[in-house]
Every structure is written in C-alpha cells, then in structure tokens.
A and B are shown apart, each in its own frame.
Chain A
C-alpha cells in the first residue's frame, strides 16, 4: 500500500511577510509615540528608568478593541500540584509588589493599553527633534559645540550629487597627460572624485543653564515629580544636543544652595518658600562665574508658586536683574491640589519681557508643552 505524503524543504529566504508587517507595526508605534509625546514624556517608567535602556511605553491607539469580558472581574482556572487549597495566593498584582510574580504578568489581558518596548534613545530622538536653545548668541568664550557638517575630504567613492568636478577634471588631465595625449577628454569612472563630509563639533558659543527647583514642604510628590520630569528631559536634551553646556543645579526652600545633580534629583526638603533666595543665588553665581560676555545664560525655575507674599516684590526685582544678564528666564508653576490664586505666577504677570517665559503645568501631560515652550526652535517662533 502506498501512502500519500511528501516531505520537502523549500527556499524560504525571500519570505518576508512577517518582517514587512512587523515593520508596519513599528511604524505605527513611532507614529503613536509622536502623537502621545505629552503623555509619554512624563511616564514614570522613563523618568525612573535608572539607566535601563528599554522602557515600556503605554500606547493607547494601538490597542485592538473588541467586545470582551472584564478580565479582572471574573474567575480563572488553574491547575495545582495536588496540594492546593482554597485561600492559597497564586500571586499579587505587579505594581503592588515585585513585578513578574502575579499570575501571567505580561500575558495579563487586563491591561487597558498596549505596551510597546521602546528604547529611550528612540524616544529622545523624537522628543528632541524640535527643541533647541533659544536666543543663542555668539560669545567670546567658545565652548559650546553643536554638530555641524563640513566637506573636508575627497574620496574615490561617494554620492553622485557630491561629485567634485574640479578634482575629477584634474584627474582626467593627469591621466591623459600620462598617456601622452593631454587635454580634457574621456572621463572614466576611475577619474571621478567625490566630496565627502565629516561631522564636526562647531564651537559657536558657550552656555550655562541654571536649573532651579523649589524643594520646600509645599512641593508634594506630584509637584516634585513634575519638576523633576522637566529637568530630567532638559538635562538629557542639553547633553545630547550640545557638548559642554554647563548645568548648575540650585535647590531652595527659604534658603538656596547649589547642589549636585544627584541631590537635585533625589533630595526633598521641607520648610517655607522664599523664591527670592534662589534668584539671588543665581545672580551671585552669574556675577562670580559666568560673565555675560562669555556665556549665554539660561535660568529655569520650577515651583508650586506658594511663595511668601512679602517676598514676591523682591522676586520681581531680581528677575528683572536676571533678565539683564540671561538669554532666557523661564518660570514653571505647578498647580497642585491646593492651588490658590495669589501665586508667584500671578505676580509675574506684571513682567512683560520677551525673554521671560512662564508656563503653568496642571498635570503630567503638561511637561512636554513646557519643554517645547522653553526650548523653542528659532524657526518656529515666527509661525
């Protein structure tokens, strides 16, 4: 009896279907990130990523919705080792305890959004795309470098549009002369020369950024989180896009002091608030270390605006002085749950200066707009 069967092995190397659709999915993830930057920028998994390079970003628009039962409200079936009994705990929800312990962490369909694995680099790229240091002026002391492209080299291989005509003709002349028939005729592929570029740091200027944060008692966990998210991205942005930009971290409550980067991002203090203290410290630092002729100076201050009322007038005076030295002074006010109207920001409304900017952040999604407001690209200002 013969059996009907075939065993074969085809060449599958051109079968790209999965890859193609995976690519499309990737594209959609990128689009979704772009659309949701405001949410993603303040995502805890990123701010607290701790050097971890891949983060999970919640993306709502890529969820495939359908009618389904509420996963969390129902029972599920499992199988024990023979000794299970009612009341045994299989695991706890991730987030409450160490992740990975809950049943099916990761396969849990109860998540209400799709989480994409994205590297921080990828997100940075998208976030930083339209940010830059505004009002950057040329200064005497040139330390600040941004990347620029210079055509410095000539090679035999290159892009057609970069053909170096002069050198190509020279090669033709040389070759023909060697053959005893001087003149420009018959360009061969070997004659072609191409201009090639190098990416070089271009020293145009120098800059210092003063990061000032209110760490007083009224700054609750939410307010601190917002301020730190902003500075987190600011620091990353400055370090990625500009070499040698100096960043000075200043923390204050009723008194201000210069702190290390680590302290700035981790330490919380208590006490009242006197914003003028940090402005005074900033001014002192500028006078002592960062002369206006040598530096573009940027000062950013985040607070909940709950300042001592008697101090507000002084703040305005100091801001005025700062403005005479700085390329930009930015003030971000975080509206917490105890928001009231006579905040510092309402006083700052009196200030009318093109290089003074203030933003109000009400929730996490306000961090990205704040970044965009403070680090506006010059070409966007007109439009």
Chain B
C-alpha cells in the first residue's frame, strides 16, 4: 500500500508540472497549488462541510453520512474537492488511478483559474479563509463549553435557517446611512439620540429651525431607510437582546455565506470551464491507448445528462464550446478563445445563460421544462426562450427567494416586517411558517412576512406563541 501510494505520488509529481505548463500555455492563471491525496471519508467530510476547517454542526454530519453512504454503495463518487483559497488546496481521492488523478488535476487548475479571475469572487478572501474558518470553529467550540452544546447548537440551527438572506454584492457601494443622519442632525430629531445629557453640549446652539413638531423625528426613525436585503446584517445591527456570542455566530455564518455565495452563483460556468479545460489539457498530454479509453470513459461519466435536472458540467461545457465556435466564425480564429476568457471574468450563471444560451443549443441539447400534473411529472415546454428564461430565473439569487426587510419598527412596536419580492413563484408555506419562528428567535419581537398566495398578497406573522396568516 505504502509503495503504491509513493508510486502514485511519484507519477503525479511527474505529470503535474507538465499539466501546469500546458495550462499556462493556454493562459490559465491560477494560485500556487497544493495537491493532497486523501481517503474517501475525508473527501466526503470536506464535501459535506464545504471546507476542511469549518465549525461543527449536526447537519454537516447528516450530509456527510448521506454522501458517504452513497460512496460506500458505489452510487456516486467525488473524484476531487477544490477550495477557493490561495494557495489553492485540491484534495484527490486516494485510490484514483493515475489517469483519473491527471484529469482531476487538470480540472482543478481550471477551477482555480476561475476562482482567481471571476469578478464575483473578488469579494472573497482566499488568502486567509482556511485560517479564519478554523478560528471561527474554535470560537464556536468555546461557546459550547461556556453556554452548553444544546444552546449553541439550537442557535446555529436558527441562524442557518436564514443564512442565505445576505447581500453578497456589497462591492456595489451603498449610501452610508450615517451621512444622511449627519445632514439631518440640525433638525429637532437629533435630540432623541444618545444620553439624556447630550443636550448640555448644545446649549449654545440655536434651537433647531424646524417646525415639524416631532414629525421628522418619527420619519427619520424608519429602519431601514431603504428595504434591506441583508437580513442577517440587519438583525445583527438592530435586534434586541442578542448576546455577544450570538452576534459572533451570526456574523461568522454571514461571512461564510458571503464566501460560498460566488460558488453557488457560478456553478454551471465554473464546472463548464473546468470541463472545457481538462479536455484540452488532457489532449496535450502523452497518453497511451488504454489511458485514452479510460479518460474518455471517465469524461463521459462526468458530462452524462440527466432527465430531471441540468448537468452543470455538460451544459457549461457545451455553452463555452458553442460561444467559442460562434465567435471564431464571426470574428476570425482566436476571437472565440478571447471571448470565453472575457466571459469567465465578468459573468455569473444567470447572465451567462441569459446572454449566451441560443435556440440552436437548447434544441441540440433537447432541454425542456417539466412539472407535476396530477400525479405525473410531464414535459410541458420546449420553446427555447421559455426554457432559457426559466433557467435564468431559477438561477436568480441562487434560486433562493428574495426577502427584504421593510420595517424594523413595524406599527411602532419594534416588530419586524419582511417582504418577499414576488417573482411568480410561490413560497413553500409550511417552510415559511416554521422559518418565521426562527426569525422570531433572532428578533425577539413579533415578526411578519408579506408574500403572495394565489396572486393575492398575504401576511404571515409569528408573535412568539402562535402563527397567524391573513390575506391583505
């Protein structure tokens, strides 16, 4: 066994520099690479946690168990796991054949290029993510020792229920609400802030020239000033009664979600890009006949289409190849390659599909929409635009409903009013009502969520004891 692994490593050490050279020749641009060969259950652990150093939670154990069972029964197999970090860690499955490892290495080089160059990843912190997650995990472990496992665990359960409701595009600068406040300070509303003695400092100032009779104070108090998508942030900044450790967990889970979000929103592109490149890098390698066949078989498995879902590897690959071909035809050889490099830099799945999925491709790939009619799942649509538009809308916000904080002081009673930005897709009502309880546990005051049921606006509420729903 030992010898076999040494041999495995030796062969890889020989192959990887070649592949790196080929990849560089193709202008792929990646971080320094760390390849680690590890046993199946370790890869599955990382797969379940999304990161080797993440905090501990039973739900990861559940994922791990499911993935490992599938692996044990030979139902599925992850060949690799790659992490958006600098240096980039790639975990290869022990027992992969050398040719599998070569393909996987080529695949992860392209993933790493994507991590490094796609604009949506620019807000992640690949240099210190592994460390910072490890430190956070350790802090959470300390909280368990201090506050008890049950309490910490159930708080994490609560935060996890809304962890997807963040604003990942903070890079688009927002108006700082404090600027606004400063401008309005001259008005009478400035008086209601801070300690009761603050007015002593202002004795010499003239009385505010405002005849609002307190009205503008009330107006300014509206929280948030504009509807806020980042529910976690809003709760962190405004919820009453959360303890320091709870705020820390909130902020930790939010940071981790911001880190994972770009991966969620570029799944098709990222896998398509990696598949596109592993094919091309492998073609440049000297493979003997048996290796070529093995590689072809493995590649075929990766891009196998599914009747019930979209295989991101296949769709992404086909789209990149299609774009390259079309641009080459129109603007001359080489233009296609340039175009796909541009796309990998500036697009995400939603824009990628919206801009580049063509009629011909939808028809060639035989994509369709299906839904449940009676007890059957039936194909209901093959019109390419409808298919494309549906794909795009299902990628929007990573397929997660958009919930906005409308009012943090609803009815002037400190209640939280959320609004689902309705996009013709109804929410799962049972889930909604249960999640609202979690939101209550964070906000500690009654919470409301407005959405639409059968196209009529409806309001769901939870006041700490019972839920309530009504049409508006």
Contacts and interface: CB of A to CB of B under 8 A. Distances in A.
Interface in A91-111: 91-93, 96-97, 102-104
B33 A5 contact: yes
B371 A74 contact: yes
A86 B370 CA distance: 9
B400 interface: yes
Given A86-B379, A86-B382, A70 B426 contact: yes
A78 B161 CA distance: 28
B370 A103 contact: yes
Contact of B61 (A12, A24, A86): A24
A79 B61 contact: no
Contacts of A82: 366
Interface stretch (A14-22, A198-206, A229-237, A247-255): A14-22
Given A5-B33, A69-B426, A18 B369 contact: no
A4 interface: yes
B394 interface: yes
Interface stretch (A60-68, A119-127, A313-321, A365-373): A60-68
B58 A28 contact: yes
Size category, A interface: 35 or more
Contact of A85 (B13, B309, B371, B379): B379
B428 A84 contact: no
Contacts of A67: 162, 164-165, 400-401, 403, 420, 427, 431-432, 435
Given A67-B162, A78-B370, A79-B305, A18 B380 contact: no
A73 to B, nearest CB: 5
Contacts of A70: 425-429
Contact of B59 (A8, A64, A80, A85): A64
B252 interface: no
Given A21-B64, A78-B307, A79-B310, A92 B425 contact: no
A20 B56 contact: yes
B30 to A, nearest CB: 10
Interface in A1-51: 1, 3-10, 12, 15, 17-26, 28
A78 B309 contact: yes
A103 B378 CA distance: 10
Interface stretch (B44-52, B197-205, B334-342): B44-52
A89 B21 contact: no
The CB with the most chain B CB atoms within 10 A, among A63, A67, A73, is that of: A67
A34 to B, nearest CB: 16
B20 A5 contact: yes
Contacts of B400: 67-68
Interface stretch (B35-43, B117-125, B178-186): B35-43
A265 B162 CA distance: 47
Interface of B: 5, 9, 12-13, 16-17, 20-21, 32-39, 41-42, 44-45, 48-49, 56-62, 64-65, 68, 87, 94, 157, 160-162, 164-165, 305-311, 314-315, 365-372, 375-382, 387, 390-391, 394, 399-401, 403, 420, 425-432, 434-435, 438
5 contacts: A20-B61, A80-B366, A81-B366, A86-B379, A103-B308
Closest 9 CB pairs of A and B: A21-B61, A4-B32, A18-B45, A103-B308, A65-B434, A22-B61, A18-B64, A80-B366, A25-B61
Given A28-B58, A87-B379, 10 more contacts: A8-B36, A12-B42, A22-B64, A65-B431, A68-B400, A68-B427, A80-B367, A84-B368, A86-B368, A86-B381
